[in-house]
Structure 1
Amino acid sequence: MNKPLFQLKDVVKTVHPNGGQPLNILDHVNLDIHSGDFITILGSNGAGKSTLFNAIGGNLPITSGHILLNGNDITKTSVTKRTQFLSRVFQDPKLGTAPRMTVAENLLLAEKRGQSRFLVPRHLKREMAKYQQLTSQLHNHLSERLNTPTGNLSGGQRQTLSFLMATIKKPEILLLDEHTAALDPNTSNELMALTEQTIKEQHLTCLMITHHLDDALKYGNRLLVLNQGQIEYDFSGSEKQAMTKQDLYQFFNPAN
């Protein structure tokens, strides 16, 4: 097998709740992620899912261990510099977009993610045809609202925009943090279909936190189960394909 694209090596994040005894909310996590992996992540509340994403994204400095990209240690790399190779879509549709900027302006901004900013012409008009095609992938009328401020969009339209912004530059690592959880079932299904299509077409490497057991089973080539800050299970291949919702329920109700 090829060398991992991304690695967590013995990663620990320790906190002291209310000034009390130390608690490892990430507890010696080791994870190899290979190019093209689409990893779905399950875990009960407090299992460490968001903490894991915050550590990968650089939002939360780890206590010990190492984080590597292509074999290079990025443990101390800032959040800003990580945007050069990493994108994230959050659960809240209001995050990840600039509400007073139009849809087209947000997409243009996303294309310049990780670049140095200079006072140069935006050339927005010449990009409009491309943005029209990009936003027409879902039948939610986003393509008709390129000149609309993002704050005036519906939740589904805004989350679609967030996803398009996160993938427009083909990041090396894509983090999807329950990105369909705030959407109605129909909109959620449409965005998940676009997610799978985009990941396949662009050969993206993706980690997706979800509470939808059906999505955890249907999508991705690997399934991780987190518990108390540790990766308790890592299923792939035929083992993942053979799993059922009843199997997954056992991880949340081990006594049953």
Structure 2
Amino acid sequence: MTKPIFQLKSIVKTVNEGTPEQLNILDNVNLDIYPGDFITILGSNGAGKSTLFNTIGGNLKPDSGQVIYNGKDITRMSVVRRTEFLSRVFQDPKLGTAPRMTVAENLLLAEKRGKKHSLVPRNLKSQMRKFKEITAKMNNNLDDRLETATGNLSGGQRQTLSFLMATINRPGMLLLDEHTAALDPKTSEQLMNITDNTINKEKLTCLMITHHLDDAIKYGNRLLVLHQGKISYDISGEEKKNLTKEKLLTFFNDIQ
């Protein structure tokens, strides 16, 4: 039987503790994530989606419970150490790249993420052919802008670069935090196609927060619905394949 690659065990995160406004923004969350899972996540504002990602990424430490990666307790592991196996793409295209560095320099930096650094030449020129091949697959002219400062790219090109940087080393876990939300519909669709192709081809394990019902239904093999800090629904298999927007909306109506 396949073992989970990642587990959340009885995770609780509380805010305003000891006051009338005390709230469990994660309320005894249990989640097993298996190798190759592509999990889409839906939930209203305040449901706990960002807190879930911050707990997985190490930005927040739970008040109780365990975070397990490949059988090892990483609950207290730092964000920096988690970059050895975990990558994240944020909603804001500006957050994933260094604006004054070129596209090629950003990709080179991403290749070294989570690895030990030493005083050796960066050998950027020797990597240019590979970077051109990688970026050419994006079909948005990013391959013609390898020597362009990232701050001068369009939002779509910059977010595509962020995605490339997050996946260039085939991470053990990939977190996509509404990574298409700031893009126009056409660019969003292009990036989602790239995302789906990459995840399936590389057999990545991925969690993706989205506010698009259509994307949550279309992509991935599992769908989670969060509500008030709990996983209200975990839909997979034939139920996920046969899921419709109307059926999904009934889930939200049931938990209101």
Q: TM-score, normalised by structure 1?
A: 0.97
1:135 corresponds to: 135
Task: Assess if the C-alpha contact under 8 Å between 2:227 and 2:255 holds in 1.
Answer: no
Separation in 2, partners of 1:250, 1:24: 25
Separation in 2, partners of 1:60, 1:87: 16
2:105 corresponds to: 105
**Superposed displacement of residue 118, structure 1:** 2.2
Q: What is the number of equivalent residue pairs in this alignment?
A: 256
1:219 corresponds to: 219
Separation in 2, partners of 1:250, 1:155: 35
Shift of the 147–19 alpha-carbon distance from structure 1 to 2, 3 Å rule, reads farther
Give secondary structure in 2 for the equivalent of 1:254: helix
Give secondary structure in 2 for the equivalent of 1:76: coil
**Aligned runs of 1:57-206 on 2, under 5 Å?**
57-206=57-206
**Superposed displacement of residue 20, structure 1:** 4.1
Separation in 1, partners of 2:150, 2:17: 38
Give secondary structure in 2 for the equivalent of 1:253: helix
Give secondary structure in 2 for the equivalent of 1:132: helix
Give secondary structure in 1 for the equivalent of 2:94: coil
- Please provide the CA RMSD for this pair: 1.4
Separation in 2, partners of 1:42, 1:243: 14
Shift of the 17–159 alpha-carbon distance from structure 1 to 2, 3 Å rule, reads farther
Give secondary structure in 1 for the equivalent of 2:8: strand
**Superposed displacement of residue 61, structure 1:** 1.0
**Structure 1 residue ranges without an equivalent (≥5):** none
2:210 corresponds to: 210
Shift of the 181–78 alpha-carbon distance from structure 1 to 2, 3 Å rule, reads same
Give secondary structure in 2 for the equivalent of 1:207: strand
Separation in 1, partners of 2:9, 2:255: 31
**Superposed displacement of residue 119, structure 1:** 2.2
1:240 corresponds to: 240
1:14 corresponds to: 14
1:34 corresponds to: 34
Separation in 2, partners of 1:119, 1:97: 23
Separation in 2, partners of 1:129, 1:192: 25
Aligned residues: percent identity? 69
**In structure 2, what residue type is equivalent to 1:29?**
V
For residues 23-75 of structure 1, what are the alpha-carbon distances to aligned partners after superposition, in whole Å with 9 as ceiling and x for unaligned? 11000000000000000000001000000000000001110000001111000
1:48 corresponds to: 48
**Superposed displacement of residue 255, structure 1:** 8.2
For residues 62-92 of structure 1, what are the alpha-carbon distances to aligned partners after superposition, in whole Å with 9 as ceiling and x for unaligned? 1000000111100000000000000000000
Separation in 1, partners of 2:255, 2:63: 33
**In structure 2, what residue type is equivalent to 1:202?**
E
**Superposed displacement of residue 243, structure 1:** 1.1
**Structure 2 residue ranges without an equivalent (≥5):** none
Q: TM-score, normalised by structure 2?
A: 0.97
Shift of the 255–58 alpha-carbon distance from structure 1 to 2, 3 Å rule, reads closer
For residues 117-174 of structure 1, what are the alpha-carbon distances to aligned partners after superposition, in whole Å with 9 as ceiling and x for unaligned? 2221110000000000101112211110000010000000000000000000000000
Separation in 2, partners of 1:143, 1:60: 36
Task: Assess if the C-alpha contact under 8 Å between 2:5 and 2:33 holds in 1.
Answer: yes
Separation in 1, partners of 2:243, 2:250: 11
Separation in 2, partners of 1:187, 1:21: 40
Separation in 1, partners of 2:171, 2:153: 25
Separation in 2, partners of 1:252, 1:4: 28
Shift of the 144–236 alpha-carbon distance from structure 1 to 2, 3 Å rule, reads same
